A and B are shown apart, each in its own frame.
Chain A
């Protein structure tokens, strides 16, 4: 298991942020969790904190957010520094039922997987285990 991975939660819903953070902590014992509210804040975070990532970063990305939504973030993510992208895994976390959104997410080259909220810690653990 990749215990040393850092997490970044990108979600505008404060309740969902808290739920995800607490579930990661209680079920997977993940302590190093950052959180931002929009896609643009996430980009800013990557720019500022990109060097502090350490071994790896997992971004849990919501789709529907004001300002810059999940897909707009993914477009802008293209420009992010290769050294950061290399260490980063993006997992989309949403309650969407829109087949267009689901297809766009699962087909996207930067998206490892699409999970439905609340974060399925079991699946996430498996995914990280498979990567390790």
Chain B
């Protein structure tokens, strides 16, 4: 597909469900209108043709009547008189139908009988009635009817004249002068009628040509609408398909990325799980080569150190998984209790004995998740002990809590080895470990950050190399606000 076509279809993207519905409605209405218009036009044209045909019969009847009347005048033969009446009857039939049609409640039987007498084909009667009734007041038909009425009036005069002639001939009052006068009158009447008949068929002919024109325009117009809507609808559908295809591709990319991250995690985690085992294997090999018990004991101590490291790592992984999988359980919690319990848990950790711990609690009760808070405190406190500075005369660990209008603030501060400025922006990254120690799994602070995110809070660090570190955690008092952020954090995280 060319680029231009793609751009074209993209323009249709904003078409909403509602717009598509409107487009479809237009399409259906246009198609229905086209059918109705064509049906009505064909019916109208058929009726117009029937009237034109009727005019022709009317005209023939009148001409025939006039011819027989002249023959009668010339021959006084009664058969011509009868034939005159019969021929004139054709026009009477049409006249009866017209009069009945002009009445609101004109009897259809009478109308049809009239039309039949006017030598109109029975199949045409319904269309003729329909046209008269529905278009009788519209210019072309009103015109035609007026002309028809005038013609009927002239026919009536002709009949009156004929009756007069008939009476005169029957009673023997017929004279030579009468004869000439009558023939001239009959001719003039016929001339008048011919003019009316021509006018009538001209009006109808004009009308049918005009209707043809309208029909063409209407057909053209509706067909354009139909094609336009169909193209619009089709383009919107193609746009939709293309859009969902793009969405699918982007989802696939996301999924591939997630899988990739998961692979990376598994390999990184397995490496960190395996590293202490390989150290252990090396130490065992060394111990096997050694006879000196003191040396072997040294190896055993190192073995223990490796195993403790592995144990830590496994704990971190468990915390990581819990933090990921266990849903938030918000309840009233005591920050003091949670912090005291975390401090107690670490009281016997290697190096803890030389650290002076100090707490200041100015905020206690919070509405939050105890699991995340425990993970948070345990990690921050164990880091403070792990990275304490042995060179310093007195190591300390201060934990302080206080409340602002919206948040609980927890500060964990130490005078440990500190974090270099360039490392500070990476310490919350997964598997990031700093150069100068070999004690971390690279998970602790990552889990802390995740936990804080889940709680809808924030964490910041202030640290100086060799001086110490200060972690400032803020937990919202009203957790409801942060729920969406947690949702969002879940979505943007590859491993969730």
Residues of chain A at the chain B interface (Cβ within 8 Å): 12-16, 18-20, 22-23, 26-27, 37-38, 64, 66-67, 95-98, 100-101, 116-119
Minimum C-beta distance from B228 to chain A (A): 56
Whether the pair A98, B285 counts as a contact (CB closer than 8 A) is: no
Minimum C-beta distance from A35 to chain B (A): 13
Among B271, B282, B433, B435, contact of A19 (Cβ-Cβ < 8 Å): B282
Residues of B within 8 A of A13 (CB): 275, 279, 438
CA of A98 to CA of B274 in the docked complex: distance in angstroms? 12
Residue of B nearest to A100 (CB): B267
Q: Does B262 contact A (CB under 8 A)?
A: no
Known: A23-B285, A66-B435, A97-B274. A15 touches B279 (CB 8 A): yes
CA of A127 to CA of B286 in the docked complex: distance in angstroms? 22
Whether the pair B278, A97 counts as a contact (CB closer than 8 A) is: no
Known: A26-B286, A96-B271. A12 touches B438 (CB 8 A): yes
Residues from 255 to 284 in B contacting A, C-beta threshold 8 Å: 267-268, 270-271, 274-275, 277-279, 281-283
Q: List 26 A-B contacts (CB under 8 A).
A: A12-B438, A13-B438, A14-B438, A15-B302, A15-B305, A15-B306, A16-B282, A22-B286, A23-B285, A27-B289, A37-B435, A38-B435, A64-B271, A64-B275, A67-B435, A95-B274, A95-B277, A97-B274, A101-B267, A116-B278, A117-B275, A117-B279, A117-B282, A118-B278, A118-B281, A118-B285
Residue of B nearest to A96 (CB): B271
Whether the pair B267, A96 counts as a contact (CB closer than 8 A) is: yes
CA of A39 to CA of B52 in the docked complex: distance in angstroms? 107
CA of A22 to CA of B286 in the docked complex: distance in angstroms? 7
Whether the pair B281, A15 counts as a contact (CB closer than 8 A) is: no
Minimum C-beta distance from A56 to chain B (A): 24
Residues of B within 8 A of A27 (CB): 289
Residues of A within 8 A of B275 (CB): 13, 16, 64, 95, 117
Q: Does B434 contact A (CB under 8 A)?
A: yes
Residues of A within 8 A of B285 (CB): 19, 23, 118
Whether the pair A19, B438 counts as a contact (CB closer than 8 A) is: no
Residue of A nearest to B442 (CB): A66
Whether the pair A15, B283 counts as a contact (CB closer than 8 A) is: yes
Whether the pair A20, B282 counts as a contact (CB closer than 8 A) is: yes
CA of A14 to CA of B306 in the docked complex: distance in angstroms? 11
Minimum C-beta distance from B250 to chain A (A): 25
Residues from 291 to 314 in B contacting A, C-beta threshold 8 Å: 302, 305-306
Residue of B nearest to A41 (CB): B435
Q: Besides the contacts A12-B438, A23-B286, A98-B267, what 13 more A-B pairs have beta carbons closer than 8 Å? A: A15-B282, A15-B302, A15-B305, A16-B282, A19-B282, A64-B271, A64-B275, A66-B434, A67-B435, A95-B277, A97-B267, A101-B267, A117-B275
Residues of A within 8 A of B268 (CB): 98
Minimum C-beta distance from B175 to chain A (A): 133
Most chain B CB neighbours (cut-off 10 Å) among A14, A16, A116 = A16
CA of A20 to CA of B268 in the docked complex: distance in angstroms? 22
Whether the pair B286, A19 counts as a contact (CB closer than 8 A) is: yes
Residue of B nearest to A38 (CB): B435
Among B274, B279, B433, contact of A66 (Cβ-Cβ < 8 Å): B433
Among A16, A100, A101, contact of B279 (Cβ-Cβ < 8 Å): A16
Minimum C-beta distance from A11 to chain B (A): 10
Minimum C-beta distance from B442 to chain A (A): 9
CA of A101 to CA of B285 in the docked complex: distance in angstroms? 26
Whether the pair B286, A95 counts as a contact (CB closer than 8 A) is: no
Residues of B within 8 A of A100 (CB): 267
Residue of B nearest to A27 (CB): B289
CA of A14 to CA of B279 in the docked complex: distance in angstroms? 10
Residues of A within 8 A of B274 (CB): 95, 97
Whether the pair B435, A95 counts as a contact (CB closer than 8 A) is: no
CA of A27 to CA of B283 in the docked complex: distance in angstroms? 14
Residues of B within 8 A of A19 (CB): 279, 282-283, 285-286
CA of A22 to CA of B283 in the docked complex: distance in angstroms? 10
Known: A12-B438, A14-B438, A95-B275. A118 touches B282 (CB 8 A): yes
Residues of B within 8 A of A66 (CB): 433-435
CA of A81 to CA of B285 in the docked complex: distance in angstroms? 37
CA of A16 to CA of B306 in the docked complex: distance in angstroms? 10
CA of A115 to CA of B435 in the docked complex: distance in angstroms? 24
Residues of A within 8 A of B306 (CB): 15
Whether the pair A97, B286 counts as a contact (CB closer than 8 A) is: no
Minimum C-beta distance from A30 to chain B (A): 14
The 8 A-B residue pairs whose C-beta atoms are closest, nearest first, are A118-B282, A19-B282, A98-B267, A117-B278, A95-B278, A66-B435, A95-B274, A15-B279
Minimum C-beta distance from B427 to chain A (A): 12
Most chain A CB neighbours (cut-off 10 Å) among B277, B283, B305 = B283
Residues of B within 8 A of A97 (CB): 267, 270-271, 274
Residues of B within 8 A of A37 (CB): 435
CA of A111 to CA of B271 in the docked complex: distance in angstroms? 20
